Structure 1
Amino acid sequence: MALSAFTAPGRFWRGNLHTHSDRSDGVLPPQEVCRRYQAEGYDFIALTDHFIGAYGYPITDTTPFRSNNFTTIPGAELHSGAMANGELWHILAVGLPEDFTAPDAPGFHPVAGQESGPEIAARARAAGAFVAIAHPQWSGLTLADARSIDAAHAVEIYNHGCATGCDRADGAHTADLLLSEGRRLSLIATDDAHFSEPDHFGGWVMVKAEANDPELLLDALKRGDFYSSQGPELRGVTLERDAVRVECSAVSTVIVQGHGSAATAQHGASMTGAELPLERLRNSPWLRVTVIDRAGKRAWSNPIWR
């Protein structure tokens, strides 16, 4: 059984799903953000400015910056309600309609009576958005917090802005615990770019679709037809009876992870393929693959359910 990202029709399109402009707390205007991503070889971005009253609840219009070889998906980073640590929720919503009803979220602090994080996430998904739990390590997310966002399609497994700004980039721990509870989630790598520090061009998704079209890309994201990367390419992930077969660009490590401590790895030089036995993962209901290149850059598959 092969992951659908490698069998679905079409080709891979490179995109960033978490970006900010000067419509919220970013440094650059939307047009320049789009120009820079296009110049760096991206096929699409979602500009996800902070959806709070201090910035006028922006869902930034990036349609004027589309071209024949670059497109955009509307979106926002949603905020409403408090997490267990008392701080405001951060929830990524890609494909959010421009008439999405704003919460009572005047700024970056929770206020009494505003809707909860799970409630605004559910509204966003019902409105057609691809919903992700943003930067769980940076947020100080508890497992109970993460469980509560049952509308999420995905978890940020890597956030480049959080890596460069505070060394809290990881979402794997949260994602793996939710997967082990049976949550059918995908994994996204993002920039969370503000362009106020080197927080850009460090993590992206490779989405399989028949055209670089916002609706087709959004549908593929919801199906899980993508993988995430900091540089390495995944070219195939296939679950066989007793092994997982991985095809990729040249890497030095291939890992298969599963429930609890279940994992197995293969190390080598310039490996473009590996076959990893599943003996240590035979009781895991899900598996996922990480590859690491010689420079320490990673790529992550979405989970395979057995």
Structure 2
Amino acid sequence: MTHSAFTAPGRFWRGNLHTHSTRSDGCLEPAEVCRRYRDEGYDFLALTDHFVGRYGYPITDTRPFRAPGFTTLLGAELHSGPMENGELWHILAVGLPEDFTPPDVPDFRARPGQETGPALAARAVAAGAFVAVAHPQWSGLTLADARSLSAAHAVEIYNHGCAMGCERPDGAALADLLLTEGRRLTLIATDDAHFTEPDHFGGWVMVKAEENAPEALLAALKRGDFYASQGPELRRIARDGDWIEMDCSAVTAIVLQGAGTAATALHGASMTRARLPIERFRESPFLRVTIRDAAGRRAWSNPIYL
């Protein structure tokens, strides 16, 4: 059995799913944000401005900035409240329709009677969006919060803006707890770029689709036909009986992770393939692969369900 991201028809397309512009709190106009990602070699971009009344509930129209070899997906970062810590939810919604009904969120303060985050996420999914839990470590998201967000497709395992701005980039622990409980989730890496600090071009997804078109990319995201990366490439992950086999770009560490303490790792120089036993994962409902290169950059597979 080979992971579907490596057997699906098409090729891999590189894209960023979380970015801001002057339509909310970013410092660059939408056209310039799109130009920078295009000229940095990205195949697609979702510009996801903050969907609050202060900014006019923007779903930024980036269609005029599409070009040969570069496309965009419409989306927004949705907010409502409160989470357990009393603050607003941050919910990434990619593929959101322009007429999506806003919640009553005039600014970044939670107020009594607001639509709940789980209800807002469910509405976005029903409207056709790919929905992800944004920067759980930065937000102070609790496990109870995460459990309640049952409609989400994915968790941000890495947020580059949060890495640069506050050293809280991680979503791995929360994602693994949810996966251990049986949730079917995928893992995305994003920039969350505002271009006010070095928060850009640091985390992305590689999506396997037959064409670089919004509908094809969105469908592949929902199927889980992608992996997340800061630079290293995953090229094949397959289960062969009691073993996991994989091919990748040159790395110094290859790690299998599962529920609880289930993990096994291989270390070396310029490794491009591995064959690792899954004996330690017999009681785990899932396993996933993380690779790390000599510069410390990582790539993360989506879970393989056992």
Aligned-pair CA distance for 1:267: 0.5
CA RMSD after TM alignment: 0.5
Report what 1:171 is aligned to.
171
Q: Does 1:184 align with 2:170?
A: no
Deviations 1:21-61 (A, max 9, x none): 00000000000000000010000000000000000000000
Report what 1:196 is aligned to.
196
Report what 2:50 is aligned to.
50
TM-score by length of 1: 0.99
TM-score by length of 2: 0.99
Deviations 1:233-285 (A, max 9, x none): 00001112111111000000000000111000000100000111112112212
What pairs up with 1:146-157 in 2 under 5 angstroms?
A: 146-157=146-157
Query: Aligned pairs, how many?
Result: 306
Aligned-pair CA distance for 1:68: 1.3
Instruction: Kindly provide the amino acid, as one letter, of the partner of residue 269 in structure 1.
Output: A
Q: 2:50 and 2:239 mapped to 1: Cα distance? A: 39
Q: 1:21 and 1:3 mapped to 2: Cα distance? A: 35
Instruction: Kindly provide the amino acid, as one letter, of the partner of residue 175 in structure 1.
Output: A
Report what 1:246 is aligned to.
246
Q: Which runs of 5+ in 2 are unaligned?
A: none
Aligned-pair CA distance for 1:143: 0.1
What pairs up with 1:1-306 in 2 under 5 angstroms?
A: 1-306=1-306
Aligned-pair CA distance for 1:168: 0.1
Deviations 1:3-31 (A, max 9, x none): 10000000000000000000000000000
Aligned-pair CA distance for 1:121: 0.3
Deviations 1:203-257 (A, max 9, x none): 0000000000000000000000000000000000111211111100000000000
Aligned-pair CA distance for 1:65: 0.2
Aligned-pair CA distance for 1:107: 0.4
Instruction: Kindly provide the amino acid, as one letter, of the partner of residue 226 in structure 2.
Output: F
Name the SS of the counterpart of 2:109 in structure 1.
coil
Name the SS of the counterpart of 2:249 in structure 1.
strand
Identity of aligned pairs, percent?
Answer: 75
Q: Which moved more, 1:274-283 or 1:138-147?
A: 274-283
Q: 1:187 and 1:202 mapped to 2: Cα distance? A: 15
Instruction: Kindly provide the amino acid, as one letter, of the partner of residue 41 in structure 1.
Output: G
Instruction: Kindly provide the amino acid, as one letter, of the partner of residue 203 in structure 2.
Output: G
Q: Which runs of 5+ in 1 are unaligned?
A: none
Deviations 1:50-98 (A, max 9, x none): 0000000000000000011100000000001100000110000000000
Q: 1:242 and 1:292 mapped to 2: Cα distance? A: 23
Structure 1 moving runs of 4+ over 6 Å:
none
Q: 1:295 and 1:282 mapped to 2: Cα distance? A: 32
Aligned-pair CA distance for 1:113: 1.1
